[in-house]
Amino acid sequence: MAEAWQANGPRLVVEPRVLDADDPLATVTGVTNAVELTAVLAGQLRWFGPGAGGDRTASALLGDVLAGARTLLARGAGRVAA
């Protein structure tokens, strides 16, 4: 699971997690992807959909996490991300 948030600077954690059986993210199996976002104004949002398979999905998600981390770091330092 990857998690990013802004609190006294940008934070990013990627680690295995044990989820409660009733957590919607715990129902994800196979090549299905899930993204959960909590926004101040919109609340909790979730997207589920088919993925491209193990290696391609891992690569794409890592790229997205790194892009998000770069954006958070750039905004925190007053710069614009490339």
Can you tell me the distance from the alpha carbon of 61 to that of 50, in angstroms, rounded to the nearest whole number?
13
Structure token pair of residue 69: 């981390």
Q: What percent of the chain has pLDDT over 70?
A: 91
Q: What percent of the chain has pLDDT over 90?
A: 12
Q: Where are the alpha helices (DSSP H) in the chain?
A: 54-76
Is the pLDDT score of 13 beyond 80?
yes
**β-strand pairing of 43-50 with 10-14:** unpaired
Confidence (pLDDT) at 77: 58
**Token reading at 58:** 């891992």
Residue 82: its pLDDT value, please?
Answer: 53
Between 23 and 74, whose confidence is greater? 23
Helix%, strand%, coil% for the chain, nearest 5: 35, 30, 35
